[in-house]
Amino acid sequence: MSVTALESKRLEAVLKGDEEVEVVGTGTDAVAYALMLADIDVTSAYPIRPYGGVMQTVARLIADGYMKAEYIVAAHEHDQFEIVKHASAVGARTFVGSSGVGWLLAIEAIVAISTDRYPVVALIGNRALDDPGAYGVEHNDALMVRDVGWLLVWVDTAQEALDTTLIAYRVAEDPRVMLPVGISMDGAFLTHSEHVFKIPPKSKVQKFLPPYDLGNRKLHPSNVISVAPQVNEDWVTEIRKQMDEAMKNARKVIEEVYRDFAKIFGRDYGNPFVEPYMVEDADVVMVGMGTVSKPIKEAVRRLRAKGEKVGFLRIRWFRPFPTDDIIRYLSDVKVVAVVDRDYSFGSPFDGGAVFTEIRSALYEAEHRPLMMNFIGGLGGREITYNDAINMFNMALDAARKGKVEQRVIWYGVRE
């Protein structure tokens, strides 16, 4: 399917004019438009759902002349990630992505991308890991790389997906960071659902996003360097330490980049790391990542209308982890209830990954809230408005009693 006449008029406008245009599209469409605006040079594709939509839209934009980029169809996901690693090494801005087990098939190349310090941007259309086979969302695919130097961010609307893609390139390519970014998008709920969003004009994107510059690490005959050497114990500690520093730098860089984004595009995300929703004076705050925000925010509004002091904190950046913001927003509430669309079997309290990290972040806090964990929405099972109300009621009950009876709840599991 090629670009429609209407879409074509809009794309011309953002590519040539100075105004943003409003369109309707899926979460993956939004990312594809961002790639067009970011002027990526190389992308490598291998089909897997739910990430695959982005490659379809990119293919269409290239075929119809709205975008100039090498579109390389890979033999498999490992190949796919190797291709962008090498392209990035010679100075190409790259995009790649996958879902679930596809992402994991590429894991060797994924780790090499971050340890070789190439600022690749990837979309992870979050999907449950096989087996058992399931197309629906779970966050364990992206979380698999939480320890190896990938910045990880979760988005919850198509607009945020588009904006975050532009932000991701700017953060990743910053000389103080030079690490890849994985943008997580809930499979189906966001990858495939249609939203209204605005495409900013390319003229503004050019002001926001300078050309990709690898500096003295660019592989080129005129810049003779060796990369990815076998180094062994004399060097590995130092190389990992550099990554540690880059990841810590990223916190500052992310703040700067969001400030600049607000200035240039006029869309202000406030706190870049987390989205606090009615958390002021809250007794109970629910925490989650991705599209689970929708039913939870609705529940917050209705419960607030009834006088219940509840709020929601959506985590955007999981790596680097927003420890300070977690302490700021959560340490003074009575009960923190974390919704994990993931599992971490055998973790300290047999809870989810987000729960465990938040618990650890709060250890240093002066006040520590009671904590509950809902493992839910696995394999793409929906978390509805009613589910969110139920979860809040359990948390409010714990707040009243001043004690948590069941720390980790497998929400909705059939007995």
Partner 1 sequence: MVSKRSPPDELLKFIPARDSPYTLVVVYGERSIGDFWTFPDDGTVERVLGAIAKVMPNILTLDDVKKYLESLDKPSERVNRALEAYQSLVKLREVKPGEGLPYKYEPPHLPGWKDMMIGGAIPGLKPNQRNPYFTGGTAKHYRPVINFDKCIKCSLCWEYCPDSVFDVTPDGYFNPALAYCKGCGICAEVCPVPDTIIMVDEMEFEDGYGKFIDEYRAWKENREAYRKWFESLLPKAQVISVRKR
Contacting residues toward partner 1, per CB under 8 A: 115-118, 178, 216-217, 223-229, 231, 234-235, 237-239, 241-242, 245-246
Bridge partners, residue 154, by sequence? 184
Cβ 108 to partner 1 shortest distance, Å: 16
Find out whether 28 and 185 touch, Cβ atoms under 8 Å: yes
Cβ 72 to partner 1 shortest distance, Å: 23
Cβ 236 to partner 1 shortest distance, Å: 9
- Cβ burial, residue 53 (10 Å; 0-12/13-18/19+): buried
Nearer Cβ to partner 1, position 117 or 381? 117
Q: Render 85-141 in DSSP notation, one character per residue.
A: HHHHHTT--EEEEE-HHHHHHTHHHHHHHHHTT---EEEEEE-PPSSSP--S--SHH
Cβ 26 to partner 1 shortest distance, Å: 35
> Distance between CA atoms of 159 and 200, rounded to whole angstroms?
10
Cβ 272 to partner 1 shortest distance, Å: 24
Cβ 241 to partner 1 shortest distance, Å: 4
Cβ 317 to partner 1 shortest distance, Å: 21
Angle at the Cα of 179 from the Cα atoms of 176 and 181, rounded to 5 degrees: 125
Q: What's the maximum distance between 2 C-alpha atoms anywhere in the chain?
A: 70
Nearest 5°: phi and psi at 149?
95, 15
Nearer Cβ to partner 1, position 235 or 349? 235
Cβ 274 to partner 1 shortest distance, Å: 29
Nearer Cβ to partner 1, position 168 or 246? 246
R_g of the chain computed on alpha carbons: 21
Nearer Cβ to partner 1, position 90 or 225? 225
> Distance between CA atoms of 76 and 66, rounded to whole angstroms?
27
Find out whether 122 and 98 touch, Cβ atoms under 8 Å: yes
* Alpha carbon distance, N-terminus to C-terminus of the chain: 46
Nearer Cβ to partner 1, position 75 or 239? 239
Cβ 174 to partner 1 shortest distance, Å: 12
Nearer Cβ to partner 1, position 26 or 114? 114
Nearer Cβ to partner 1, position 87 or 303? 87
336's tokens: 């923190």
CA torsion through residues 277, 281, 287, 292, sign: negative
Q: Which amino acid is at 356?
A: T
Nearer Cβ to partner 1, position 131 or 238? 238
Nearest 5°: phi and psi at 50?
-95, 0
**Strand, coil or helix: what is 354?**
helix
H or E element that contains 394: helix 385-401
Nearer Cβ to partner 1, position 113 or 143? 113
